[in-house]
Amino acid sequence: MNALVIALKDLQILLKDRGALIYTFLFPLVFVFIFLGVFSVGGGDDGEEVTLKELPVVNLDSSGEISKPFIDGINRAGGVEVVLYAQDEAEELLSNTDIWYMLIIPPGFSSQVAAGEQATLRLVSHPDINSLASESNTRDTVEQIILGVAQDASLQIHIVRALEQMGDMQAGSPAEPEVFTSERYIAQASSQFERAATRPLVAVEQTGPTTVAEEEEEAGGTNIGTLAVLFVFLAAQSIAVSIFEERRSGSFRRLLAGPVSKAGLLGGKMLAGLVTIVLQIVVFFAGGALIAGLLGLGGMSLGNDPLAFVLLSLMVAICSTSLAIFIAGLARTERQASSVSQGILWVAAILGGSLVSIYFLPSFLQAIAQLTPHFWANQAYIDLINRGQTLSGIVDELIALAVFSVVFFGVGLWRFDFE
């Protein structure tokens, strides 16, 4: 009962503090609005075509039989789109930095290649291109594409020439029965080359860590659970500071003079913080759903198991309030409880995946991240909202948060100086 009285007193103080109300409830919603606004850019433009990088090409072998298929091969390679220019026009654009590089296909390119001679393509760049990292990197990528297409073309030509030589040798031996003619060999090889260009035997699918926005889209809604974890654990710092303020004012000594135990006193502070954080989570997700709707991101999914979501949110709130007791027990000054703990909480939030996907971190930091409660809370929200898990799928995360809560409260109660 004494703990309940202390909790009600703290909640009344919170309701009278406009600054605390804004920091606890309004500021997180503003952050969510900005975050979703930034990461939803382009999220609704699934129908837009990807813009290809232009590759200016001067084809001085326009009548050649190989230059045209070579240009088609560059377009098929993807990533770039060939734009043909006259040489004078391209040189003027290059000097005016309207373009930064151009590919020149020399005269006689097709005849040289057909004769088995080495033909040299020229990728001409503006002298100042190296001062622009983006254009320099694009040029290097284009060069790799050109080299790849050139190697494929060379391989095909060598194979065809080898088949022609085989046909010539077979024609020089009339005694041997000619089952297949050289023309049939070449026609078959050409058809295989065309098939390989449109339907390769090996396809490469690029996979990797998805962005928060991509994960949310796959889940059919907007997942702001990791942001909720960020602010829920930041609330621990405010609760710890309020405990220090009461100790400094001497109210703890007066309360301990009455029939209240130390555990009951901290339990009351913890209960007030727990109610505040639960309300913060409710406002956070309800406001997030409203903001997501205003931004045209669709409904915000809370997963397929409402009970699991409620239990997880409650466990995260308990862990955060226990962390507040832990901070208050270890900090020696109010400054440590405020600025130092806030810095540590932000670092833990980043490591734990509240702002950046943990898969972007080096492996050793991913291992360290598991020592933070943020990691387990974030993984649980991601499992529920993004991956469609149920309560049985987040048991490990709930156990980890419970262990953190017990350790935080136990150490905090042991180390806290009520005087």
pLDDT over 90 at 314, yes or no: yes
Counting residues of the chain whose pLDDT is more than 70, the rounded percentage is: 65
**Does residue 55 have a pLDDT over 90?**
no
DSSP 52: P
pLDDT digits (tens, 9 = 90+) for 175-230: 544 444 555 555 555 554 454 444 433 332 333 334 444 444 443 334 578 888 88
Domain ranges of the chain: 2-43+212-415, 53-198
What does the radius of gyration of the chain's CA atoms come to, in whole angstroms? 34
DSSP classification of residue 130:
G
The number of C-alpha atoms within 13 Å of 128 and in the hemisphere containing its C-beta is 6
Worst-scoring range by mean pLDDT, 41-50, 91-100, 114-123?
Answer: 41-50
Q: Per-residue confidence at 43, pLDDT binned at 50, 70, 90?
A: very low
pLDDT above 90 for 319 = yes
Per-residue model confidence (pLDDT) at position 412 = 83
CATH number of the domain located at residue range(s) 53-198 in this protein: 3.40.1710
CB 259, CB 379: distance < 8 Å: no
Among residues 58, 155, 152, the alpha carbon closest in space to that of 101 is found at: 58
The three-point CA angle 170-173-174 to 5° equals: 105
**Residue with the larger pLDDT of the pair 115 and 395:** 395
Q: Which of 60, 126, 66 is nearest to 88 (CA)?
A: 60
Task: Write the CB contacts of 139 (distance below 8 Å, at least 6 apart in sequence).
Answer: 100, 101, 123, 125, 129
* More reliable by pLDDT, 409 or 266: 409
pLDDT at res. 23: 63
Whole-model pTM? 0.55
Examine the pLDDT at 360 and tell me if it is beyond 60. Answer: yes
In the three-class reduction of DSSP (H, G, I as helix; E, B as strand; rest coil), residue 117 is classed as: coil
Q: What is the pLDDT of residue 183?
A: 58
Q: Which of 62-66, 288-292, 299-303, 315-319 has the highest average model confidence (pLDDT)?
A: 315-319
Q: Tokens 């029939």 belong to which residue?
A: 259
Name the one residue in this structure whose structure tokens are 């850019």: 41
Q: What average pLDDT does the structure give for the chain?
A: 74
Backbone angles phi, psi at 387, to 5 degrees: -105, 0
Percent of the chain with pLDDT over 90: 12
Please choose, from the candidates 319, 249, 217, the residue with its C-alpha nearest in 3D space to the C-alpha of residue 277: 319
The answer, yes or no, to whether residue 410 has pLDDT greater than 80, is yes
Buried b (16+ CB within 10 A) or exposed e, 301-328: bbbebeebbeebbbbbbbbbbbbbbbbb
Q: Who has greater pLDDT, 13 or 365?
A: 365
